[in-house]
Amino acid sequence: MEVESAVWTEVVAALPGTAVFQPPASESSLIRCTASLGHPLPADLVALLRESNGIEGEHGEGLIWSAERIVSENQRLREDAELAPLYMPFDPLLFFADAGNGDLFALVSRIDRPDVFAWNHEDDSRIWVAPSLAKYLEWWLTGQIKL
């Protein structure tokens, strides 16, 4: 499943399960994201946020967080001094969703790589789960990603 520009909501709506869309993220919100995090957001994530500033599943779980939550969650994890001795650095990752069990989904933040990884909060492992944001959504909504 590949996504052309301006069709993220159509692609996600066609997948099984419930997806609740939000109003689009404003350009100023996306600019604040980049400034707050100190690096640009990946292009696919920006394109999705321009259509829906976050996507929730049927039970309110964040399939994709809002731009504001992406900033707050990433800053919290990167800046929490109590977490630093427990986990590898979070700076290379850009967390954008949670699995509902404490584990988080992430893109690589500072290189142009579309792969999605899952961070396990219990053992700090980071495993590959999908080759792209589009596949993550498809595989997560169809139960192909198991954590």
pLDDT at 147: 86
pLDDT at 109: 83
pLDDT at 76: 95
Domain residue ranges in the chain? 8-141
Pick the CATH number of 8-141 from 3.40.50.620, 3.50.50.60, 3.40.1580.10, 3.40.50.300: 3.40.1580.10
Give the pTM: 0.91
What would you measure as the largest C-alpha separation in the chain, in angstroms? 43
**Secondary structure element (H or E) that encloses residue 139, with its range:** helix 133-141
Please state at what angle helix 43-51 crosses helix 27-37, rounded to 10 degrees: 140
Region label for 124, one of left (φ > 0), alpha (ψ between -120 and 50) or beta (otherwise): left
Ranges of the chain with pLDDT below 70:
1-6
**CA 4, CA 131: separation in Å to the nearest integer?**
16
